[in-house]
Structure formats: C-alpha cells, structure tokens
Structure 1
Amino acid sequence: MAQVKIYGFFESLKPIQKQFSDILHSCLMDSLKLPEDKRFHRFIYMEKDDFIYPDDRSERYTIIEISMFEGRSEEVKKKLIRLIFERTQAIGFEVSDIEITIFETLKSNWGIRGIPGDELTLNYKVNL
C-alpha cells in the first residue's frame, strides 16, 4: 500500500496532473512493485500566499509525500526517490523543484476495506 500527496501550484500542476500521476505511479510500480490498479494520488493545490519556499526554487516547486506500509528496504526506497527525480524531468521539472518525503507506518496503523492493514490479503509483496 502507498498513498501519495502532491503539493504545488495549481497553474503548474493542473495542466499536467495526469502525466504527473502517470509518472509517479510508474515509479511506484517499478520500485515498490505496486500493481497497476493500486493508484492513490491526491493533488493539493497551494495558493501563492500559503506556499512559502526558498528563492532558489521555481514556480514548479512541488512536494511529494508518500505514505506506505513498512517493510521496504533502504535500497528500494532510494530507487523510488531516484526514479521520481529522473522521470519528472521529462515533463519539465528540475531536480531542485521536487522534494520527496517517505512516511512508513505499521500495517496495523492502517484501516482499509473495513479491517486493520495487518489483516489484509494483498496481491503484491511489501517486504522488498
């Protein structure tokens, strides 16, 4: 399981929202081995007055927060980060305009489909 929040300016992200989501999901599938149908992305559009960031970032500055079950190796998480930096360049993002945070939580701290996450039967592996 992985859920993604994407924070950025409406003007920068909305026109490419589908492409951005497709790229992110390809990174999640290739690194975390998520199935194609496990896409959980939320775009959160910020107003200029509410999104404060350093002057060395552009109007495309975007924060990506990924919440996932614990169990992935450091190597797998680093692969995910590198893929996101690499692939978002294809749609005009500089590496300085992307920041990524990964939050891992116990499966038992998730509630999905009416049960705790540690009781789920998944069709993919988490311990990679």
Structure 2
Amino acid sequence: MPATRIETRRGWIGSRRLEIIEAVQRALLTGLKIPEDDRCISLLEYEADAMIVPPGKGESYSVIEIKLFSGRSLDAKRRLYAAIVDELSAFDVPAGDIKIMLVEIDPENWGLRGLPASEIDLGFKIDV
C-alpha cells in the first residue's frame, strides 16, 4: 500500500504524465509484489527555479519518494530500484538522474478505514 510521489522539473515529460505514473506503478508491482489495484502515485513538476539539482544531472532528474510499510526485504528493495530505473529508461531518463528514497512506516502508524493498518487484513504480504 505504498504512497509514491515523483518530483521533477517541468518540461521534459510533456503530455506523458500518465505514462510516467504507470511506469512507476509497474515498477512497484515488480519490486514490491503489491496487488494490481494498489495505486497511490502523484507527480509534481516544478519550474526550473523551484528545484535545484546536483551538478551534472540532466533535465529529467527526478526524486521518487515511496512511503511504504516496513518489513520489505533488501532483495525486494533491489528489485524495486532496478525496476524503476528500467521503466524510466523507456523515457530516456538515465539511471544517474533517478534518486529513490524509501520511507518505511510501521503498519500501526498508517491509518486505513479508521483503523491502524496493523489491524486490517491487507490482502497481500509485506515481507516479500
């Protein structure tokens, strides 16, 4: 049940916003083995003067922050990182222009349907 935010500079995506979002969704499915209908991704584009990036990075430099339940294995995280880079390469985003940050949250600190997620049958495994 990850919540994902993609942040980048305006201009390089153009009309492909939904395609980028779907690419990251496919990477989440591959890496974390979440259900197909588990979707929560936003895309924020900033004007060039509203986002500074490290020297040498291209116009497609992107920061992808994924908030997720704690408990995923290092192998799942590796699969996720590789899948994101692979999916975004179709948009000519170099691997060096992708920064991925995972923010792990204990299920008791994530509220769903008025309850802590730790008290709900999520319908999928976290420890993949």
TM (norm. structure 1) is 0.94
Q: Distance in 2 between matches of 1:58 and 1:124?
A: 37
For residue 40 of structure 1, what is the aligned residue in structure 2?
Answer: 40
SS of equivalent residue, structure 1 residue 85: helix
Cα RMSD of the aligned pairs, angstroms, is: 1.2
Given residue 17 of structure 2, which amino acid in structure 1 is its aligned partner?
A: Q
Q: Secondary structure at the match of 1:100?
A: strand
Distance, in Å, in 1 between the alignment partners of 2:41 and 2:18 is: 10
Opposite residue 32 of structure 1, the aligned amino acid is L
1:101 aligns with 2:101: yes
Matches of 1:96 and 1:15 in 2, distance apart?
Answer: 23
1:39-118 map, 5 Å: 39-118=39-118
Deviations 1:35-56 (A, max 9, x none): 1111100112212112011231
**Unpaired segments ≥5 residues, structure 1:** none
Q: How many residues align?
A: 128
Structure 1 vs Structure 2: percent identity of aligned residues? 30
Question: What is the CA–CA distance in structure 1 between the aligned matches of 2:10 and 2:35, rounded to whole Å?
Answer: 28
Kept after mapping to 1: 8 A contact 2:25/2:39 = yes
Letter in 1 for 2:27: C
Q: What TM-score comes out, normalization by structure 2 length?
A: 0.94
More helix by share: 1
Task: Specify the code of the residue in structure 2 equivalent to 1:55.
Answer: P
- 2: CA distance, partners of 1:12 / 1:36: 28
